[in-house]
Structure 1
Amino acid sequence: MSFTVRKLGSALGAEIIGLDLTSTLDDGTVAALRAAWSEHLILLFRDQPLTPRQQIAFSRCFGELDDHAAIPKFRHPEHPEILMVNNLETATQKRLSVGRQWHSDLSTTLRPAKGSLLHAIQLPSTGGDTMFCNMYRAWEGLSPLLREWLDGREAVHDMSIARETRLQRTESELEEIRRRNPPVCQPVCRVHETTGRKALYVSEMTTSHIDGLTMDESQAILEHLYRQSTAHENVYRHIWRKGDSVLWDNRCVMHIALSDYDPSEIRTMHRTTLMGNPSGRLAHVS
């Protein structure tokens, strides 16, 4: 089954044209899609409304899926492979802020996500975009001396330090989050197991500090790394349309969900999460 690849930006991203995601894909087509994913890091599929079953079936072309047992509150009631990414909690009618800082999915676990596929179900009338950045280029753009110093070091990733989490939770709730999801150390420079390329692996949402340095010592270095990662020329901004599906590689891409829309409007997305290889270790944080 043939398809066309159209680049979306110079840094990353490509649209796949001419492929029906609801059909059964042959091995050759899947191999070609995987190759395009490795090359472009993000794949966009336009105007294809998918049922949960169809999204799950297509996502499995790229690997094993997470059942989101760690966050049952947001799982689809009939399909645990689907994570419902909403700005409104149905049970409580509470407004939610999700993914408002740059991050890589599940970096705070010992099995970070390999990839994620987000499907647009309901969108605000304007805004609600998602931005992505190329972490290969972020690493390669650092000076050789800084790369040498960082390579082999680890950074601590902590779910409880995310800005929206700290704003919405009490100190006792934050302690419970840390108890259930203890901070982990991940390599600052991560080697992609498929391409062999090195990617920067720190994020403003979850990285607290570089292991072995104090918070103050880490801050200036991390701020520089964040600026390097999200420089304009390293970013693709996706303007969603209903029926869009975007697949990205969490091993070499960070993303951020923008709050550039009327909060009274509903934004509903369905996410499947590809299980990654084990990575990191539990951190010893006082």
Structure 2
Amino acid sequence: MPVDVHQLSYGLGAEIRGVDLSRPLDPDTVGAIRRAWLEHGVLLLRDQDIAPEDHIRFSRYFGPVEDYPLVHYRHPEHPEIFLLSNRDGEGRPAQTRNAGRHWHSDLSFTARPALGSVLRCLKIPDIGGDTIFANQYLAYEMLSPAFRAFIDPLEAVHELFSKTRDLKNLDQGQVRDMKKANPRIVQPVVRVHPETGRKALYVSIAVTTGIVGLDEEESDAVLGFLFAHQTQVQFTYRHRWRPNDILMWDNRCTLHMAVPDNDHRQVRLMHRTSISGTPCGRVLDEDRQEAA
């Protein structure tokens, strides 16, 4: 099956046309999609009116699909699917209504972060509900050689639910359970992509809380600069959703954020799968007090 690739922005992203995900794909088509994914970081496939089983099958072309680790937010019939919605099944405000409102890379707070994510839009408000992405290859490459040499060997701490102000809408017992199951992780500040060999920034304001070996003032200064630098507009693509859009992104070289620009009285409903990646990072040794 021929695959048409159309670039979406200068920073990253491309649309794939001519592919129907309701049916199995042949190896040549999968290979073409994967090459486009590695080149552009984010891919868009529109008008995909598919079942959850089709969503999961498509995701598995690119690697193992894991059961979503935050068990309270799983699809009741498909544990591989993370339910992202601002309303629960009874129409009440959902706990995930503000999920992803800070820049992040999926599951970087684990020692086996998601290689990629595949997100399908089922319902979207009349206005807003966008998602924005940032190319972390470009963010790294636009730094000065001297600063790149400084940060290349550094490690940083990634922590689930580090933004305490975001916890007020969540079940506190569930939060304690999830934090216990996901201890703090040390990740490289600069990650080498295992397939392309390119270097990318691998910190995010959502979960990165300190740089190992630096004191708090030094760590805050370095991270504050990186957080501001890595999401400059020239590195980004902003997606305005339509129902049955699918976006897939490479978590090893991109950040993303759900833009807080929609009315929660209108439903925003998404299904997301996570493609399991290779081990990266290690559990923080709290006894050695590695963190800043």
| Displacement of 1:243 | 0.6
For structure 2, the residue ranges without an aligned partner over 5 or more in a row are: none
Q: Which moved more, 1:52-61 or 1:83-92?
A: 83-92
The residue aligned with 1:36 is 36
| Displacement of 1:166 | 4.1
Three-state SS of the structure 1 residue aligned to 2:111 is coil
Three-state SS of the structure 2 residue aligned to 1:29 is helix
Do 2:3 and 2:32's aligned partners in 1 also have CA atoms closer than 8 Å?
no
- Within a 5 Å distance, the mapping from 1:61-140 to structure 2 comes to 61-68=61-68, 70-90=69-89, 93-95=92-94, 96-140=97-141
Compared CA separation, residues 260 and 27, structure 1 to 2 (3 A): same
Do 2:70 and 2:178's aligned partners in 1 also have CA atoms closer than 8 Å?
no
- What CA distance in whole angstroms lies between the structure 2 residues aligned with 1:173 and 1:85? 17
| Displacement of 1:83 | 1.1
TM-superposition CA deviations, 1:188-220 (whole Å, max 9, x none): 010100000000000000000111112322111
Asked whether 1:149 is paired with 2:146, we answer no
Compared CA separation, residues 91 and 214, structure 1 to 2 (3 A): farther
- What CA distance in whole angstroms lies between the structure 2 residues aligned with 1:32 and 1:106? 26
Asked whether 1:208 is paired with 2:202, we answer no
The residue aligned with 2:56 is 56
The residue aligned with 2:261 is 260
- What CA distance in whole angstroms lies between the structure 2 residues aligned with 1:8 and 1:234? 12
Tell me which amino acid in the other structure corresponds to 2:44. L
- What CA distance in whole angstroms lies between the structure 1 residues aligned with 2:88 and 2:230? 32
Asked whether 1:10 is paired with 2:1, we answer no
Taking structure 1 as the reference length, the TM-score comes to 0.94
Do 1:133 and 1:253's aligned partners in 2 also have CA atoms closer than 8 Å?
yes
Taking structure 2 as the reference length, the TM-score comes to 0.92
The residue aligned with 1:189 is 190
Tell me which amino acid in the other structure corresponds to 2:140. W
Three-state SS of the structure 2 residue aligned to 1:226 is helix
Do 1:112 and 1:278's aligned partners in 2 also have CA atoms closer than 8 Å?
yes
Do 2:158 and 2:185's aligned partners in 1 also have CA atoms closer than 8 Å?
yes
Tell me which amino acid in the other structure corresponds to 1:45. L
Percent identical among aligned pairs is 45
Q: Which moved more, 1:170-179 or 1:55-64?
A: 170-179
| Displacement of 1:143 | 1.0
Do 2:158 and 2:186's aligned partners in 1 also have CA atoms closer than 8 Å?
yes
- What CA distance in whole angstroms lies between the structure 1 residues aligned with 2:55 and 2:177? 33
For structure 1, the residue ranges without an aligned partner over 5 or more in a row are: none
Aligned residues: 285
TM-superposition CA deviations, 1:7-52 (whole Å, max 9, x none): 0001100000111111221111111111000001111001111110
Q: Which moved more, 1:7-16 or 1:175-184?
A: 175-184
